[in-house]
Structure 1
Amino acid sequence: MQDSRPVAVGMDVGGTKTHLRAAAGTDSVADHIRPSRGWRPHDPSAATAWLATLVGEVLPAHTRPSAVAVGAHACETPRQCEGIRLALQERLQVPCLVVGDAELLVPAAGLDRGAGLVAGTGSVAVGRSADGTSVQVGGWGAVLGDEGGAAGLVREATRAVWAAHDRGEAPDTLAARLTAAFGVGEVPALGGALEAATDVSADWGRHAPAVFEAAEEGSLLAHRVIAEGGRALASLVARLAARGVPVDDVVVAGGTIRSRPALYSAFAEALFDAVPSARPQVLQVPPVEGALALSRTLLRPVIR
């Protein structure tokens, strides 16, 4: 006998991989991960076709979604997300929701409100004000922002060793680690190495381990860069609070901050100073759980 229960579909479309989960009630219908190749969020038609094709390929035969929620990488403004949502809803003929992928963190943690903070290759913080308006701060890319993310840490570390060089100081461990990572022979050559990057965020960010390794080896410059990165991440949360977003709960995700205790500690300490009421927690489940939770909210009017 065919299951007649509504099927909720949640998708976490990241920059590298996409995770889809579908469930009927508490029973799993699908759980699938694939590369995000072909994801074009700035083209609503192409994005809609990509998402709809994924749903069609992953759900079992003769199974239709009853609601779809998507957390989408590089969906940077409410207008952009709404354009994809409208097109997807028209195509699938079911309730749909599209938000930036960082907005999955709070519902994934089982919370109704709070702030989501991502510090991976880049950095961004998101939340919703009391009237439900989506608020995003940060996320401006490695050239202009992303402080506390991997690429931003490398950029600031390079600035720190350049400043030390200009002061006439001998290269320390951070300088040695960075020049080795970029394959150059001296500190002044780091500028050309950074400018030669073809994918700035990825090409800079992959060298972030050099910053943390230098700190572990006693580099004061590296320690300062990490501490400043933590303060920058805390300032993102403080900006959300200043714009009316409840930040008592701050859900943290992203490969850099999750894998580097020094950065998380710097962030947590700075957050206590900036917003004493804020409680940070590291997300313990895949973000797609947030998409599935949002999809279930779309089903509430039809669940008996």
Structure 2
Amino acid sequence: MWILTVDGGGSKTLARLTDTVSGRQWQQQAGPASLTNDFALALHNINQLSAALCRDAGVDSSKLQVVMGLAGAGNPQQQQLAYAQLAPLYQSLLVTTDARTSLYGANLGQPVLVVALGTGSVAMRLLPDGTEQQIGGWGFNIGDEAGGAWLGKLAVRQLLWQVDSLDGVQSPLLQAIAGKIGHSAAQLLPWLKTAEPNDFAALAPLVFQYQRQCAVAASLLQQQTAAVSQLITQGLAHYSLPVVLLGGLAADTLPLLPDSLRAQLQTARGSALDGAFILATQHHTTAETRHDG
């Protein structure tokens, strides 16, 4: 059996093709595949990866059992549209969220709470009876607290306050951000008009970089810590689960968390691609895939 697994996020996409008979694997990376940020680009990158892996392995895509965990797939309209366009290419297809594939990979299909901090943010729990529940992940416009885009947006908001102040931009962090996006309204307004979540998320690493030398950065990271703590606390609720912190901001955020929360964390046992593979083995028939997709 040939299984193609895809992990499509707001910044990059990973894909792995596995021949379950021989055990051979092929893997490649491309640009973002967020269905809600840029649907056309997402499908382009997915198709590009799939075609390249099929060429490498010498197999036709019609023989593949496919599970794709994609950012934005929680939106039913986008998920259904993606499924409709991609399904004819494959033997079977399940389109689900990247949060779900990360959930199954984090503890290799065993009960767990996953808190993912990437361009966006989301918490998901997998309970012993197989129930899956999501907390957060409402998107950049209203939620995704503790994600890179959210943190970058908070930093830009602070920059605008200092641009408007009589003293000008004094914060070392905000000076660094201004160097990237502008020091004045004439520069900032065009940037703000076209800025996407990825653009805000690109600024988030600077907040961590300046935390020891800038009061504004330290204050923003207090908000970051509070947001992550809330995701973990609400995700655990009345359950006793191991907690796995994932995503591009996880390593930098971890040391900021209270000792009581850090004590509950464990290292991920697998990746989103591993989780997608587990789901593929559970949903390998065409009937099951169409029911879920």
Scaled by the length of structure 2, what TM-score is found? Answer: 0.73
Cα drift, residue 292 of structure 1: 1.8
1:3 counterpart residue number: none
Q: For 1:155, give the aligned amino acid.
A: K
Q: State the one-letter code of the partner of 1:182.
A: I
1:294 corresponds, among 266, 272, 279, to: 279
> What corresponds to 1:269 in structure 2?
258
Q: Are the aligned partners of 2:99 and 2:116 in contact in 1 as well (CA < 8 Å)?
A: yes
CA distance in 2, matches of 1:190, 1:281: 47
Mapped to 1, the partners of 2:47 and 2:177 lie a distance apart of 44
Task: Tell me if 1:210 matches 2:199.
Answer: no
The answer for the alignment partner of 1:19 in structure 2 is 14
Indicate which of 106, 121, 126 corresponds to 2:103.
Answer: 106
Q: How does 1:1-304 map to 2 (within 5 A)?
A: 6-25=1-20, 27-36=22-31, 41=35, 55=50, 57-59=52-54, 60-62=57-59, 65=63, 67-77=65-75, 80-81=78-79, 84-85=82-83, 92-94=90-92, 96-109=93-106, 110-128=108-126, 132-141=131-140, 143-160=141-158, 162=161, 171-184=170-183, 189=185, 192-193=188-189, 196-217=192-213, 219-242=214-237, 248-258=241-251, 260=252, 263-266=253-256, 268-269=257-258, 272=261, 279-283=264-268, 286-299=271-284
Cα root mean square deviation, aligned: 4.2
Supply the distance in 2 between the matched residues of 1:171 and 1:62 (Cα, whole angstroms): 58
- Unaligned stretches of 5+ residues in structure 1: 1-5
| 1: CA distance, partners of 2:226 / 2:119 | 17
Q: Sort the Cα spacing of 1:163 and 1:16 in 2 relative to 1 into closer, same or farther, 3 A.
A: closer
Q: Distance in 2 between matches of 1:191 and 1:235?
A: 36
Give 1:174's aligned amino acid: L
- Separation in 2 of the partners of 1:229 and 1:296? 37
Note if contact 1:117-1:251 (Cα within 8 Å) is conserved in structure 2. Answer: yes
Contact 1:67/1:296, CA 8 A, preserved across alignment: no
Aligned residues: 279
Identity of matched residues, %: 21
